Amino acid sequence: MPLGAVIVSDKIARYFETNMLWGGLTYSGHPVCCAAAVANLHIYEEERLFENVEKQGRYLASRLEAMKKKYACVGDVRYKGMFSVLELVKDRRRGNRWRRSMAPVRRWANLPRN
């Protein structure tokens, strides 16, 4: 069964105490799913997976920063642990960004025009 959850800061949580967000999460709070989630969190801690993510994240960050220095088409890189973004631009040195047009993506993916 799926499990959904959201983690927010205290400030955001206080806002939603009086302002309903009409959305939902799949099987939010289902006892079987929650038991599986707690068991997984124990495994993460026992096997030190979070520490490994930090280590691998630092390596990934160094590789992304190296790509940014090496390639003019990499406008910026952002990362937190293993989550990362690589922003592609025409030419970072000239400040040329891609237009909002999908034309570059169509050419790259060889997609027909609509």
30 in Cβ contact with 2 (< 8 Å): no
Domain ranges of the chain: 10-46, 55-109
Rounded CA gap, 102 and 57, in Å? 31
pLDDT of residue 26: 64
User: How open is the CA angle 67-87-89, to the nearest 5 degrees?
Assistant: 90
pLDDT of residue 88: 86
Rounded CA gap, 110 and 104, in Å? 10
Query: Which residues lie closer than 8 Å to 19 by C-beta, 6 or more apart?
Result: none
Residuewise pLDDT in 10s, the chain (114 residues):
778 777 889 999 999 899 887 776 666 678 888 899 999 999 999 999 999 999 999 999 999 999 999 998 898 999 998 999 988 888 787 777 766 665 666 566 555 554
Q: Model-level pTM greater than 0.75?
A: no
Element (H, E) at 86: strand 83-88
pLDDT of residue 35: 93
pLDDT of residue 70: 93
User: How open is the CA angle 49-10-42, to the nearest 5 degrees?
Assistant: 25
pLDDT of residue 2: 79
> pLDDT of 13-45, one tens digit each?
999 899 887 776 666 678 888 899 999 999 999
